[in-house]
Amino acid sequence: MKRRDFLTTGAVGVTASAMAAPAIAQDVRQWKMVTAWPKNLPGPGVAAQMLADRITTLSGGRIEVKLYAAGEIVPGPGVFDAVSEGTAELYHAVPAYWGSKSKGILLFGSQPFGLRADEQVGWLTHGGGGALYDEMYGRFGIKPFLCGNSGPQWAGWFRNEITSVEDLKGLKFRTTGLASEMATKLGMAAQAMGGPPMFQALQTGALDAGEFIGPWTDSALGYYQVAKYYYWPGVGEPSSAEECGVNAAVYAELPDDLKQVVSFACESLYNPVWTEYTTRHAQALQSLVSEHDVQVRKLPDDVIAAMGVAAGEVIEDLRADEDELVRRITESFIAYRDLVGGYMTYADNGQMNARASVLGY
């Protein structure tokens, strides 16, 4: 897909029919899904359309979901409020965008040096995180569901090489969520913006560097054209959960079978979305290096260590937050991370280290 094919969709105007009240005729509900993405953006834009189609299909057409890209009804950053206020029935975005609502929300999307994609869904499903997820979003009249994950993100695209912690001081850097707070503690000038504006900012020099997702999505947005150094590991976001938020009142009035449809549509997409990211990222990275001369670099060890210290400070701030619910979410996250992280020493980490050491096939 060419970059212009999905960047032009955000300029579509709002029509009267798009803003019409939900119709329930012959037991058919017409739902508007607003998203934080350009339509068909590789990765999240594709996943959003998959979710809209899956709800429609699994419901036997009793819920017809029409997707609206960022800017068609509301701007990408406005989708949370649009669903909370009832302008749209559901949205597709990431929790990392809602820190202005509550810092506790950010933990449900990604955490610096935090949970991997499998651990993230494990925390919500088996570690008590799901009830906290519902409690937090319930404050805003939203019923949330995880519906995908990007897997490990990258440290980002840099116009110049990074050789030490000092190189980060004053660096104008695009990131989101708790990673932005970690960056600020390191002296970086963290800036929030969407994926397409990040390209323009890197091109003009308004940004020195920035991270968005990973090779698949990033290559489609053309960052390699304006910043050649691509750094790993993305410790700011070891995974990034994608979510569907449904207006709580609309969800509550559904019959039980349609509630199950919405829930299952989201749950059933988590692994397909995550594994597609993993596969496409691997393929795209090969192309970025072989066809576009992208310079893949590992962050220096002292930079990673400094990021770890800063991340610890971010989590301690959350543990001391004045909001009791934020404190409970933080303690639940830490407990699950420590429990499963300890086990991974023997399980996944052990297997991956062993596999890397063997060259038999």
Rg of the chain over CA atoms, in angstroms?
Answer: 20
Asked if residue 112 belongs to a domain, the reply is yes
Asked if residue 109 belongs to a domain, the reply is yes
CATH of the domain at 140: 3.40.190.170
Q: Is the peptide bond before 233 cis (omega within 30 degrees of 0)?
A: yes
Task: Single out the residue of 268, 249, 251, 271 nearest to residue 259, CA to CA.
Answer: 251
Asked if residue 8 belongs to a domain, the reply is yes
Q: Which residues are annotated as a binding site for substrate?
A: 153, 174, 211, 237
pLDDT tens string 301-328: 999 999 999 999 999 999 999 999 999 9
Asked if 122 and 143 count as a contact pair (C-beta separation under 8 A), the reply is no
Asked if residue 157 belongs to a domain, the reply is no
Mean pLDDT, the chain, whole residue set:
93
pLDDT at 49: 98
Cβ neighbours of residue 261 closer than 8 Å, sequence gap 6 or more? 55, 58, 59, 63
Can you give the pTM of this predicted structure? 0.91
pLDDT at 361: 77
DSSP for 259-287, written as a single string: HHHHHHHHHHHHHHHHHHHHHHHHHHHHH
pLDDT at 9: 43
**Domain range for 110:** 3-152+239-279
Asked if residue 356 belongs to a domain, the reply is no
pLDDT at 1: 46
Asked if residue 347 belongs to a domain, the reply is no
pLDDT tens string 114-149: 999 999 999 999 999 999 999 999 999 999 999 999
pLDDT at 26: 63
Q: Which residues are annotated as a binding site for Na(+)?
A: 212
pLDDT at 302: 97
Is a pLDDT exceeding 50 seen at residue 61? yes
Asked if residue 217 belongs to a domain, the reply is no
Higher pLDDT, 173 or 12: 173
Is a pLDDT exceeding 50 seen at residue 77? yes
SS3 110: coil
Q: Which residues are annotated as a binding site?
A: 153, 174, 211-212, 237
pLDDT tens string 185-237: 999 999 999 999 999 999 999 999 999 999 999 999 999 999 999 999 999 99
Cβ neighbours of residue 247 closer than 8 Å, sequence gap 6 or more? 83, 84, 86, 88, 89, 90, 141, 142, 143
Number of domains in the chain: 1
Asked if residue 324 belongs to a domain, the reply is no
pLDDT at 14: 37
pLDDT at 6: 53
